[in-house]
Amino acid sequence: MATARSILQVIENYQKARTTFARTVAELASKPQNVEILHNAGVMVLLRPLLLDCVPQIQHLAALGLGRLASYSEELAEMVVSEKILVQILYPLREQNRHNKRAAANLLCAVAKHTEPLAQAVVDSGALDALVQCVEDFDPSVKEAGACALGNIARHSAKLAQAVVDARAVDVLTLCVQEPELPLRRASAFTLGEIAKHSPELAQVVVDADTVHLIANLVLHSDSKLKRQVCQCLSQIAKHSVDLAEVLVAADLFPKIFPCLKDHDPQVRRNASIVIREVVKHTPQLAQLIVAAGGLVPLIQNVADNFGSERLSAIMALGFIAAFDEALATTVITSNGIPPLLDALISEKEDHIKSATAWSLGQIGKHSPNHALAVAEAGVLPHLVSTFLSKASSEDLQNKCKKALKAVSDRLTHLPALDSLLQGPSLPEGIMKYVLAQLAKILSSDTDARTRFVTSGGFEKLQQLPVESGSELKELVDNINSAFPIELVHYYSPGYSELLLQKLGSIKSTTAA
């Protein structure tokens, strides 16, 4: 007859086995190479009932393992939904045990991060209110897990972000930004940014919670990961409208953010430049404010010191600043902004970065002859031409180079620069007509320029251009030729020497006869 002790031993062994199983699976799931094996063995179905186990530790370990599995791939996250695990995870989410709450919130976070339908499934399960309660919890790690889950829900669409807002999460998250724990502050700033990014209305909700004034000073914090999220949040707010960008100005963000452009962390540098780009793009007044606050030199230095995507936003910011008016473009030139942009055009590998650089250079040179001359003297034009003509260049890059060349050549009155364009690689007709039009303006009124144009070989090159009769290019060539003696035009015209020889032969024949 079994004794009470032996019966209890059976139950104890069962409990230990469940604990060992859940712990081992959780440990194995932390290594990517094990996940597929665990999935094929049907481990998710085995873990599901353990979420409702009578032992809190087993509940925690089961949720931890499922969270790691769901984080691995969209397929496994979808299995969490299809196996109705989301419904079961709400029970530990509402418990008092902080370990279980954190593990359950992390599981929801892992599911929601993959796709909008999966995030919607988390919302449909009724988890939003419970997640907001997690953010209100006394334990910082539970708060952090809840904030991350809300951020992964909000990031996918305006509809989901609005659902997070409707669950009154913004005010709670704003309070969490002020907490002393760094992981919690990072997670809260991340989620507020994910809410704000979708529309001006959602960004305004974040602003109305006084978020900007609370986080503006955090750009001075020593923690790089926090600064990343703060800058990201600020850029998501500023991008929508002038009014929202002005909120950042009113919060005295500038010039406090400028040191972030030189931060030791690449992501901080990149995110800080995005904030500035999103502010200066709106109006010349905001661009002038950034320049007056001392932001131009750090932006230029950011372009000079970084490579790849790290300097893309600073490149675009310089373009936006220069685009508005002559004075701002002049400031970019006098601050030595063209050389690092030229370096990016030459050395960058990604076409979209080169495209942004070509666009920015065009914005600098488009205003006046002096601006165009500064771009030309820096040696930009030959590289724009070669990039445009390169078969490796994307269609967008070619278009950006073409527009930049048009913008600069249409203002250029410097004969050597125009001459070099004419004598360089063959230009497309759309650009050549601007070059010829500018040459016509110069050569029609300047005798010395006409002499230099002939001695440089440019006049001979002009006569060799393949232009069709009646075309706009033919009209421009004839306009330039009209400034020169007709004998000179004939002399440099292709085939003229053969024509002279034929005439000489005719004269000899006549004389002999």
What is the per-residue pLDDT for 501?
52
What DSSP designation does 255 have? T
The closest of 246, 224, 248, 220 to 234, measured between CA atoms, is 248
Q: Phi first, then psi: what are they for 264, rounded to 5°?
A: -70, -20
Residues 6+ apart with CB under 8 A from 363: 319, 320, 322, 323, 329, 407
Of the ranges 22-31, 221-230, 420-429, which one carries the lowest mean pLDDT score?
Answer: 420-429
Where on the phi/psi map is residue 42: left (φ > 0), alpha (ψ -120 to 50), or beta?
left
Token digits of residue 439: 């040459």
Report residue 412 as tokens.
């250029």
Distances (CA, A) of 218 to 25, 186, 215, 254, 255: 40, 11, 5, 13, 13
**Contact status, residue 88 vs residue 51, Cβ threshold 8 Å:** yes
Higher-confidence residue of 328 and 439: namely 328
| Over residues 260-280, mean pLDDT | 95
- Report the candidate in 379, 375, 386 with the shortest Cα–Cα distance to residue 409: 375
Residue 440 burial (CB count, 10 A): 19
Instruction: Say whether 495 sits in a helix, a strand or coil.
Output: coil
Q: Report the SS3 class of residue 424.
A: coil
Statement: residue 503 has pLDDT above 70: no
Q: What is the pLDDT of residue 504?
A: 52
Please give the DSSP secondary-structure letter assigned to residue 55.
Answer: S
pLDDT digit string, tens, across residues 431-462: 888 888 888 888 888 888 888 888 888 888 88
- Residue 259 has a pLDDT of 94
Q: Give the chain's radius of gyration (CA, Å).
A: 34
To the nearest 10°, report the CA torsion of 274, 228, 63, 129. -70
- Tell which residue, 288, 286, 282, 315, has the closest CA to residue 300: 315
Q: Which long-range contacts (CB under 8 A, 24 or more apart) does 60-64 make?
A: 60/92, 60/97, 60/99, 60/100, 60/103, 61/19, 61/22, 61/23, 61/25, 61/26, 61/103, 62/22, 62/26, 63/89, 63/92, 63/100, 63/103, 63/104, 63/106, 63/107, 64/26, 64/103, 64/106
* Residue pair 477/462 in contact by the 8 Å Cβ criterion: yes
Amino acid, res. 506: S
On the question of pLDDT at 509 being above 70, the answer is no
DSSP state of 96: S
Residue 139: strand, helix, or coil: coil
- DSSP notation for 348-376: ---HHHHHHHHHHHHHHHTS-HHHHHHHH
Q: Identify the residue with better confidence: 49 or 284.
A: 284
pLDDT exceeds 80 at position 498: no
Number of CB atoms found within 10 A of residue 204's CB: 17
Structure tokens, 212: 């900007």
Which domains are delineated in the chain? Answer: 15-153+165-181 (1.25.10.10), 227-410 (1.25.10.10), 413-506 (no CATH)
pLDDT digits (tens, 9 = 90+) for 371-428: 999 999 998 998 998 899 888 999 999 999 999 998 998 888 888 888 888 888 777 7
CB 183 within 8 A of CB 140: yes
Q: The pTM is what?
A: 0.86
- Judged against a pLDDT cut of 80, whether residue 282 lies above it is answered with yes
69, two tokens: 């599995």
Please tell me the distance from the alpha carbon of residue 177 to that of residue 188, in angstroms, as a whole number: 6
377 against 496, higher pLDDT: 377
* Backbone region of residue 210 per phi and psi (left: phi > 0; alpha: psi in -120 to 50; beta: other values): left
Of the pLDDT bands very low, low, confident and very high (cuts 50, 70, 90), residue 239 is very high
* 251 Cα distance to chain centroid: 24
- Res 212: pLDDT: 93
Q: What pLDDT is recorded for position 2?
A: 61
pLDDT computed for residue 55 by the predictor: 85
- 438: enclosing H helix or E strand: helix 429-443
